[in-house]
Amino acid sequence: MDKETADITRRRVARLYRSAAISNFLVTVPAFVAYREYIDSFFSEKPNYPFLVHIWSGMAFLWGVMFWEISKDPLEKQPLVKYSYLEKAVTSASVVAAVALNNKQKCTKLPLRVLAGVSLTDIVWIPLFVRAHGKLRALRRGQDA
């Protein structure tokens, strides 16, 4: 891969991870500064344990910090990239399973708007992160040769 193509790839991956970081920040900060409005936008019933919402939001915020770190030098941080799509896959699978098992479990129904939210904040990022990982690995192989 020539230098110009490599630079374009680095810039695109950096932009992708910067966007992902901002997305995570925008989705998580409201849980801390406007909890009631945040919960009302996703759930018809209030969670029994608000601290779990704060834990989830805090962890998602920290993933955003990691995405920002990757965006500063994607090639250098390439070993971390796999964790970005793995994290998104775990969250997505958990929510999809909760919606799918909804009728089989004797618990409060998970609103479909939670699935819609996770589709926008997690599921859509998975193929983008996997593709970025492949591109960065190709760049690294080219540098090592």
At residue 46, the pLDDT reads: 79
Q: What is the pLDDT of residue 55?
A: 93
The per-residue pLDDT for 145 is 47
Do 13 and 132 form a contact (C-beta atoms < 8 A)?
yes
Confidence at residue 128, expressed as pLDDT on a 0 to 100 scale: 97
As a whole number of angstroms, the distance between CA 139 and CA 6 comes to: 7
Question: pLDDT tens for residues 81-114?
Answer: 999 999 999 999 988 888 887 766 656 677 777 7
Chunked in runs of 10, what are the mean pLDDT values of the chain (145 residues)? 89 98 94 88 79 91 97 96 96 86 66 80 95 94 70
Q: How many residues does the chain have?
A: 145
CA distances in angstroms from 86 to 36, 56, 81, 92, 126, listed in the order given:
30, 16, 9, 10, 8
